[in-house]
């Protein structure tokens, strides 16, 4: 049987773009369960997700994207897990390609594709810039992970509010789990004034610094 992919989408107040993200997923032609974790939205994000047939899990108040990822993981029943931001769009055929690459390599715990930035048409901020070339993405529609990998490394660390990616990568490496890179642009990443990476950049840098200090402490023992 074709593998079931659990797509986990943490979102807060995402009614502006979530339809585009969900449309792009439903066109992939894969077996999906889309889990939308509504992190304290004050708009109709949850209603839109239900309209699309998604599993909707709601936090009463905002707990942040790291906790939201873990909420989605607890509910995921698929063979594979994909994290997707509500404001991005997956390219046609990309998920099938990721599934094939993971199925063909029994040694890989995950496969990682590239993303390409695009400036959101509704963004008038001239200071918002996009990377000119595709690059390997971290989570947003770019990494397909075996669900079993999380049985080994556990959920995301809630010690970070923005730096969970580097912590996840560290734990994958520490447990000898391979991430295979493939030459594929899987997702168009929307860049706008309210991207999480822009609004929480200071916290992200603090989290990265804390993770690197912890890593250094382990290696010097």
Please report the DSSP string for 33-73 in residue order. EEEEEEES-SSSHHHHHHHTT-EEEEESS---HHHHHHHHH
Report CA Rg, the chain: 17
Q: What is the pLDDT of residue 220?
A: 56
Q: What is the pTM of this model?
A: 0.86
Cβ proximity of 89 and 187 under 8 Å: yes
Q: What is the pLDDT of residue 131?
A: 82
Q: What is the pLDDT of residue 163?
A: 66
Q: What share of the chain is helix, strand, coil (3-state, %, to 5)?
A: 35, 25, 35
What is the full DSSP assignment across 102-128?
Answer: HHH-TTEEEEEEEEEEEE-TT---TT-
Q: What is the pLDDT of residue 157?
A: 85
Instruction: Going from the first residue of the chain to its last (221 residues), give the mean pLDDT of each consecutive group of 10, the final group possibly shorter.
Output: 94 96 97 97 97 96 93 97 96 97 96 91 68 86 95 87 77 94 95 57 49 54 57
CATH of 4-219, one of 3.90.550.10, 3.90.950.10, 2.20.25.10, 3.40.50.10420: 3.90.550.10
Q: What is the pLDDT of residue 206?
A: 53
């Amino acid at each position: 049987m074709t593998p079931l992919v659990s797509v986990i989408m943490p979102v807060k107040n995402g009614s502006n773009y979530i339809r585009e993200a969900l449309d792009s997923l439903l066109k992939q032609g894969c077996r999906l369960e889309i889990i939308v974790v509504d992190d304290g939205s004050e708009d109709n994000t949850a209603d839109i997700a239900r309209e699309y047939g998604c599993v909707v899990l709601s936090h009463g108040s905002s707990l942040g994207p790291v906790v939201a990822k873990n909420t989605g993981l607890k509910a995921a029943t698929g063979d594979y897990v994909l994290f997707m931001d509500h404001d991005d769009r997956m390219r046609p055929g990309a998920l099938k390609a990721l599934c094939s690459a993971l199925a063909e390599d029994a040694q890989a715990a995950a496969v990682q594709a590239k993303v390409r930035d695009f400036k959101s048409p509704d963004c008038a901020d001239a200071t918002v810039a996009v990377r000119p070339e595709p690059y390997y993405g971290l989570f947003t529609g770019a990494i397909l992970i075996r669900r079993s990998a999380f049985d080994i490394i556990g959920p995301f660390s809630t010690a970070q509010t923005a730096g969970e990616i580097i912590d996840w990568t560290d734990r994958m490496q520490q447990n000898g789990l391979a991430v295979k890179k493939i030459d594929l642009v899987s997702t168009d990443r929307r860049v706008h004034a309210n991207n999480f990476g822009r609004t929480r950049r200071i916290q992200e840098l603090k989290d990265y610094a804390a993770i690197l200090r912890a890593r250094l402490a382990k290696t010097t023992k």
